[in-house]
Amino acid sequence: MGFKNHIIRTYCYSINIPIQRFAEQIGVSKTHLFNYIDGKNNISKEVAEKIEKITKGELSAVELFSLNQKQTRRNP
């Protein structure tokens, strides 16, 4: 089950950028980015910081990294 309103997906749609292009900008594969969005993998601190930098703070690393904790609690 994916997070359809995940903040990364919402951000990409809001600036009209394909997920694949955003993945390239942050240096991960499209598959990895979808795994973050779908909650299959936890986002690393480094990737969260890259996203914050690329989005000029619109998506904060702290907020992105905190999603890992929420997913972990839901799926022990």
Cα–Cα distance for residue pair 3/54, rounded to 1 Å: 22
Integer-rounded Cα radius of gyration of the chain:
11
At 32, which CATH number?
Answer: 1.10.260
Q: Residue 5: what pLDDT? A: 65
On whether residue 26 sits in a domain, the answer given is: yes
Q: Which domain holds residue 41?
A: 7-74
On whether residue 61 sits in a domain, the answer given is: yes
On whether residue 1 sits in a domain, the answer given is: no
pLDDT digits (tens, 9 = 90+) for 14-65: 999 999 999 999 999 999 999 998 888 899 999 999 999 999 999 999 999 8
Rounded to a whole number, what is the distance in angstroms from the first to the last CA of the chain?
A: 15
Q: Residue 62: what pLDDT? A: 93
On whether residue 16 sits in a domain, the answer given is: yes
Give yes or no for residue 10 having a pLDDT over 70: yes
CB atoms within 10 A of CB 74: 8
On whether residue 37 sits in a domain, the answer given is: yes
Q: How many domains does the structure of the chain reveal?
A: 1
